[in-house]
Amino acid sequence: MRRLLGSVRARATVAATLVVALVLVAAGTAVVLSLRANLVDRAGADAESAARQVAARLASGTPWDALDLPDDDDEPVQIVDGTGRVRAVSEDLEAVSGTGTSGVKPFAGPAPRPGALDDDVSLSDGEAAIDGDRDTYRWAAVEVKPQEDDDSRDDDEEDSPGSSGGSGSSGASRSPGDDDARTFTVYAGAPLDAADGAVRTALTVMLIGLPVLLGVVAAVTWAVTRRALRPVEGIRAELDAITGSRDLARRVPEPATHDEIAALARTTNATLAALEDAVDKQRRFVADASHELRSPIASLRTQLEVGAAHPELLDLDGAVEDTVRLQHLAADLLLLARLDAGERPPDRLVRLADLAAREAAEHGLRATIEPERPDGYAVRGSAPQLGRVLGNLIDNARRHARSEVTVQVGQEGREAVVTVSDDGPGVPPGERARVFERFVRLDDARARDEGGAGLGLAIARDAAHRHGGSLTVGERRGGGAEFVVRVPLAQ
């Protein structure tokens, strides 16, 4: 189970199913509550309409005992006077609750506030027993005062206690109970069983349909993610095979789509290509380094063996020369290893003009600095590494020059520019990129420089790049080679 839930496909399926479940439950709850509220409001409106109809007939003067009350189970009606006595009820209405009245058929709810016929309607929920069936109803209460004619009012006054019979009294008095008896409250109900039934039906549909829908969502999500992640499995399998075989020439399959997985496959293949190129360069570097080291080591060993057998034949100068050559080669290899490791030069100010003048003087040359700058063309970096760049370029120019080598320091934009040129044969256009590769020597260079290892220009280019600059080669005006170093000036 843990392994199953650990897969991306399983997690996506579970997450999608949970999200859909939460959304459906929330939406279903909102729908059920809204449905019940609408149905209850509809029942309240029906009850209010029935109560107003009966109250309107009472208000127009129809006696309560002459009213034709609805006998339908869907519209039970009860009329209660101000004293709480039930005056009229619908046929078969046996018991009710929820109106707050008392008497023959008491109610348990709050009584309505006194008010006019058109303005005051109270709503409450309660039960009613009609012909033995007990259901929940929405009750509407409307208060009304029937109209009275003059004859009935006079009759009431004559029959009331304290009447003087026209003996000169100021008028008959009426008790508060008489006013209460003439005020009626009409209660009309509307059943809520339709609302409850609709809610139960909706809940049943949700309880049955929700698991089915969630099962469909889970199955579809599982199938879709399986199809979407199938290329990922192919990429993983191919990478595993490449790791096992160590064959960096292989590539992972790229799906014929334009989505993120296709981009991942292309990036993976680009990484494999870069890794293959780096490994090939490393192998060639090791092979070339071994080849370059073998010659001076073999020469030095031969001289030492001859010197051991015949001391008078020992070529001490040649042994020293081979040892120095080995020392320089080891230093070059160490510097290249540090550059390949990404070692950044220290952030120090270096006066490039002074450095160029010193390197040129060590080779018997004079550097031309135009225009002069007070800061001496200050750049940031490592003085030894920049000095090594200029020294390698000057050495290379002296080996190939016929009679002239020039060193110039200037400025182009925000960069310091050092140009080292010679009047030699130059570098053919087709070889200008390859000349900066490691252990690469052109044919005439091999003939003229038997001691060179072909690392000087490679070191110079890599060191220039580490300082944020560049090293290029072109043709000198008038013939020859021209190497140009550009390094950003210190701000």
**Residue 61 neighbours by CB distance under 10 Å:** 12
If DSSP states are collapsed to H, E and C, what string results for the chain? CHHHHCCHHHHHHHHHHHHHHHHHHHHHHHHHHHHHHHHHHHHHHHHHHHHHHHHHHHHCCCCHHHCCCCCCCCCCEEEEECCCCEEEECCCEEEECCCCCCCCCCCCCCCCCCCCCCCCEEEEEEEEEECCEEEEEEEEEEEECCCCCHHHHHHHHHHCCCCCCCCCCCCCCCCHHHHHHCCEEEEEEEECHHHHHHHHHHHHHHHHHHHHHHHHHHHHHHHHHHHHHHHHHHHHHHHHHHHHHCCCCCCCCCCCCCCHHHHHHHHHHHHHHHHHHHHHHHHHHHHHHHHHHHHHHHHHHHHHHHHHHCHHHCCHHHHHHHHHHHHHHHHHHHHHHHHHCCCCCCCEEEEHHHHHHHHHHHCCCCEEECCCCCCCCEEEECHHHHHHHHHHHHHHHHHHCCCCEEEEEEEECCEEEEEEEECCCCCCHHHCCHHHCCCCCCHHHHHHCCCCCCCHHHHHHHHHHHCCCEEEEEECCCCCEEEEEEEEECC
The sheet carrying 93-96 orders its strands as 86-89, 77-81, 184-191, 133-144, 121-130, 93-96
Residue 485 is predicted with a pLDDT of 95
- Report the pLDDT averaged over residues 241-259: 86
Please report the pLDDT score of residue 179 as a whole number.
Answer: 52
> Residue 283 burial by CB count (10 A; 0-12/13-18/19+): exposed, middle or buried?
exposed
Query: Is the pLDDT at 152 greater than 50, yes or no?
Result: no
443 band by pLDDT with thresholds 50, 70 and 90: low
CA distance 282 to 54: 104
pLDDT of 102 > 70? The answer is no
**For residue 51, what pLDDT is reported?**
86
For the segment 281-309, the average pLDDT, to the nearest whole number, is 78
Tell the burial category of 337 from Cβ atoms under 10 Å away from its Cβ (0-12, 13-18, 19+).
exposed
Q: How large is the average pLDDT for residues 447-456? A: 59
pLDDT of residue 133: 67
Q: Which of 140, 143, 142, 141 is nearest to 192 (CA)?
A: 140
Q: Is the pLDDT of residue 104 over 60?
A: no
- Each residue's pLDDT tens digit, 379-423: 999 998 999 899 999 999 998 898 899 999 999 999 999 999 999
- In this structure, of 48-52, 159-163, 212-216, 348-352, the range with the lowest mean pLDDT score is 159-163
Q: Which of 103, 68, 107, 71 is nearest to 187 (CA)?
A: 107
Q: Over 50: is that where the pLDDT of 226 sits?
A: yes
CA dihedral 76, 81, 84, 88 (to 10 degrees): -40
For residue 71, what pLDDT is reported? 67
Residue 241 in this model has a pLDDT that exceeds 70 = yes
Look at 104 and 445; give whichever has higher pLDDT. Answer: 445
Structural domains present in the chain: 1-162+173-247 (no CATH), 260-340 (1.10.287.130), 348-488 (3.30.565.10)
Model pTM above 0.85: no
How high does pLDDT run on average in the chain? 79
**Range among 121-135, 348-362, 421-435 rated most confident:** 348-362
Select from 327, 278, 281, 275 the least CA-distant residue to 439.
Answer: 281
302 vs 315: CA distance, rounded Å: 10
Tell me what the mean pLDDT of segment 170-180 comes to: 44
pLDDT value of position 178: 53
Q: In this predicted model, which residue has the larger pLDDT, 292 or 365?
A: 365
Q: pLDDT band for 119, please (50, 70, 90 cuts).
A: very low
> What would you report as the CA-atom Rg of the chain, rounded to the nearest whole angstrom?
54
Angle between helices 383-400 and 456-466 (to 10 degrees): 150
As a whole-number percent, the residues of the chain with pLDDT over 90 amount to: 24
**pLDDT: is 118 or 24 the higher one?**
24
Poorest-pLDDT segment among 14-28, 139-153, 161-175, 384-398? 161-175
**Residue 299: band (very low, low, confident or very high) from pLDDT cuts 50, 70, 90:** confident
Contact in structure between 292 and 298 (CB atoms under 8 Å): no
User: Among 30, 42, 27, 34, which Cα is nearest to 193's?
Assistant: 42
Q: For the chain, what percent of residues have pLDDT higher than 70?
A: 80
Predicted pLDDT of residue 421: 94
Q: How buried is 269 (Cβ within 10 angstroms: 0-12 exposed, 13-18 middle, 19+ buried)?
A: middle
Least confident of 54-68, 87-101, 187-201, 363-377: 87-101
